[in-house]
Each structure stands twice: as structure tokens, then as C-alpha cells.
């Protein structure tokens, strides 16, 4: 692989600026490690699961990457901050598992007081102050959050999440093509860290366009759900493959149905429209939505379950191993960057 070098690849020592997102319920040790083996970087989500489940996923990554206990584990860990805030003792346990395992990065998002956890992680990182200190990624969608993340929390990497993103996000977030340049301008005035772009990405040409806009890397979530390594089930993958982009909608229906309420104000989730969303939008009583959701899960049906998906889902037509997804995106991105460079060379030679 011809590497693509950016400030992000230098910071993490990786070959391609393509990151597999932290995805609660979907990104575990197998996905994150395969992405790392392909030259990218991936996150194990601590999500909604137990500490034992999280430990198991970390050890899957450790084994796949043949990492000794005293070496940096070349994956990150994603935390939903509102869940940390809900149960600080569990939060401390999960964070200590991540830090003891010397993970290379931590990803924080969706909380009222993210700064508290940034400080907590830095204070408890045994590598703090060294070049191997854990790198803190913050995902956000507004100028206001960006300023705080740069000036107060001194984030190591910022992920700019556009409205197209699968899973949870700010309901009022702007589309990525507008949001990214807006935030990039502010970040450059503040001398900010590497900025990554997330939301709706599916192809190498999109990756090339974001790098051209000044992104130091890109984050994809939904695309990696369509890999055998994600924790999604085969029926969920089938629904994603069958979906066109108009089925990707922002909604609170699933959080009501499965009772995962507690997200910060203004946050909802983007997933595939199905009977749960239709009932919710029709104003069906929440208890009934919940009962129907639980009943259909018991029966193993697929017409009410949660399948998070970004608006790029209609551009995805294949289940591929995570490594192949990285290679395909990287190769296609390089081709697009090279044709851009060729266009410039030709324009210059025509002028001579």
C-alpha cells in the first residue's frame, strides 16, 4: 500500500487516514484489530455492555494484533459520556480496563460534561506526559463545542460529525460538506489538532474529497457494519444491503422503543425506517411501541429492530472483510487524488 500521510497518520503511526468509528453495539475487538492490520485505525466500543464483555473484546484485539501486555495496543476505545455520567463507578472500571490495556486512543462523545472525563483519563493514564500517552478523540458537530474541545480540553483529534452520520448525532447538525469547512476555519484560527470528517461516507472518492477540503482523515461507521467482523447480525446486514438512502432517517423512535433515553439535549439517531419508526411517527403510544418492539425481537422478526445507518447506505452494495474495505477505500482515494494532481499538471502544461 502506498501510504497517504497526514497529521493524523503521523500521530498514530498508521498507513491510511481511514478510521472505523466507535459504534456502541457494533464495533468490537475483531473489527478494530482488522482495520489496524490493514493500516487504518479502529475503535472498540465500551457501549452499553458489561465490563466482562468489554474485557473480552479488548482481548480479542490484543490477540489478533499479537500485542504484549507492556506494549501499546493499536486500537482505541469509545465511550458514550452520558453513560459514564449515569454510573461513575462503572465508568471508572471501564476506563481503568482501557488504560491498563494501554490502548492507543480514547473516543468521547455525547455528554453534558465531557471535560470531566478528559481530565479523569489524563490523570489516570500511566503513560501521561510521554509520547505514548493515550490520544483523546472528541466527536462533535458545532463551533461552540469545537472551541471548548480545542482550548479547554486540548483534544488530540477532533471528529466533525455531519448530519448524514449513522447512529446518534446532533439532530440539527449541518451536512458534512458545509459543516467541515466551517469548523476547519475555526480550528485553524485556534491552531487546533487534526480534524476528521464523519457522516455518510461510503466511497474512496468521497474520502479524497474530504482530504482535499483539509481533513486529516475520515471516519466511517455504517460501511464497517457491512463487514463480517462487526457485531451486527446477518439479518441486520441484509437490511442494510437492501436499503436505499431514503430509508436512512433521524428519529428517537428506537431510543423510546428500547428505553435508552438519557442522551444530551438535541441528540437523536439515524437508522433505517421500519415499523417501529412508522408507529412512533403516527403517534402510537410509547408503551405500545415498546411492547411491539420487544414482541417482535422475541419472535426473531426483523421489521422493528434497530439498524443504525448513515445516509450513504444506498452507496453500499457488498459485505467485505474490514481489511478489504480499507484497501478498497484507500486505493480508490489515491486514484482520485492522483487524477486531481494530473489535472493540475495538464492545466499548467497547457498554459506554457
The residues binding ligand FMN (CB under 6 A) are 21-24, 26, 45, 47, 78, 80, 109, 139, 161, 164-168, 198-201, 219-223, 225, 308, 310, 312
Cell representation of residue 56 = 473480552
Find the shortest distance in angstroms from Cβ 245 to ligand FMN: 10
Instruction: Say how many CA atoms lie within 13 Å of 292 toward its Cβ.
Output: 20
The residue (of 67 and 210) whose beta carbon lies closer to ligand FMN is: 210
Find the shortest distance in angstroms from Cβ 301 to ligand FMN: 20
Find the shortest distance in angstroms from Cβ 107 to ligand FMN: 6
E-strand ranges in 113-266 read 135-140, 157-161, 167-170, 195-198, 217-220, 248-251
Find the shortest distance in angstroms from Cβ 47 to ligand FMN: 6
Find the shortest distance in angstroms from Cβ 317 to ligand FMN: 15
The residue (of 99 and 219) whose beta carbon lies closer to ligand FMN is: 219
The residue (of 36 and 240) whose beta carbon lies closer to ligand FMN is: 240
The residue (of 142 and 161) whose beta carbon lies closer to ligand FMN is: 161
Find the shortest distance in angstroms from Cβ 264 to ligand FMN: 12
Alpha carbon 312 to its chain centroid, in Å, reads 14
Q: List for the chain the helix, strand, coil content (%; round to 5).
A: 50, 15, 35
**Is there a contact between 138 and 158 (Cβ–Cβ < 8 Å)?**
yes
**Is there a contact between 264 and 255 (Cβ–Cβ < 8 Å)?**
no
Strand partners, 43: 76
The residue (of 132 and 328) whose beta carbon lies closer to ligand FMN is: 328
The residue (of 67 and 134) whose beta carbon lies closer to ligand FMN is: 134
Cell representation of residue 173 = 447538525
Residue 347: which H helix or E strand, with range? Answer: helix 322-351
Amino acid at each position: 500500500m502506498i501510504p497517504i500521510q497526514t497529521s493524523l497518520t503521523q500521530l498514530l503511526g498508521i498507513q491510511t487516514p481511514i478510521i472505523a468509528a466507535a459504534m456502541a453495539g457494533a464495533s468490537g475487538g475483531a473489527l478494530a484489530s482488522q482495520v489496524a492490520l490493514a493500516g487504518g485505525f479502529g475503535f472498540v466500543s465500551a457501549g452499553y455492555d458489561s465490563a466482562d464483555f468489554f474485557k473480552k473484546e479488548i482481548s480479542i484485539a490484543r490477540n489478533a494484533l499479537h500485542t504484549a501486555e507492556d506494549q501499546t495496543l493499536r486500537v482505541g476505545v469509545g465511550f458514550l459520556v452520558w453513560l459514564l455520567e449515569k454510573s461513575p463507578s462503572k465508568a471508572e472500571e471501564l476506563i481503568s480496563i482501557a488504560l491498563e490495556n494501554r490502548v492507543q486512543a480514547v473516543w468521547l462523545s455525547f455528554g453534558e460534561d465531557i471535560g470531566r472525563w478528559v481530565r479523569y483519563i489524563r490523570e489516570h493514564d500511566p503513560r501521561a506526559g510521554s509520547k505514548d500517552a493515550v490520544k483523546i478523540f472528541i466527536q462533535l458537530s458545532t463551533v461552540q463545542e469545537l472551541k471548548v474541545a480545542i482550548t479547554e480540553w486540548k483534544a488530540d483529534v477532533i471528529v466533525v460529525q455531519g448530519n448524514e452520520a449513522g447512529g446518534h448525532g446532533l439532530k440539527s447538525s449541518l451536512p458534512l460538506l458545509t459543516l467541515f469547512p466551517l469548523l476547519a476555519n475555526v480550528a485553524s484560527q485556534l491552531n487546533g489538532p487534526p480534524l476528521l470528517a464523519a457522516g455518510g461516507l461510503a466511497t474512496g472518492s468521497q474520502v479524497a474529497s474530504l482530504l482535499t477540503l483539509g481533513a486529516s482523515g475520515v471516519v466511517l461507521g455504517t460501511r464497517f457494519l457491512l463487514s463480517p467482523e462487526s457485531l451486527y447480525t446477518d439479518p441486520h446486514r441484509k437490511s442494510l444491503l437492501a436499503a436505499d438512502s431514503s430509508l436512512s432517517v433521524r428519529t428517537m423512535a428506537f431510543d423510546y422503543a428500547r428505553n435508552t433515553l438519557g442522551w444530551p439535549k438535541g441528540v437523536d439517531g439515524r437508522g433505517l425506517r421500519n415499523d417501529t419508526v412508522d408507529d412512533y411517527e403516527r403517534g402510537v403510544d410509547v408503551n405500545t411501541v415498546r411492547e411491539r418492539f420487544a414482541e417482535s425481537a422475541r419472535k426473531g422478526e426483523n421489521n422493528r429492530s434497530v439498524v443504525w445507518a448513515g445516509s450513504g447506505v444506498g452507496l453500499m452494495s457488498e459485505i467485505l472483510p474490514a481489511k478489504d474495505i480499507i484497501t478498497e477505500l484507500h486505493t480508490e482515494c489515491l486514484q482520485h487524488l492522483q487524477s486531481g494532481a494530473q489535472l493540475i499538471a495538464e492545466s499548467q502544461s497547457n498554459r506554457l
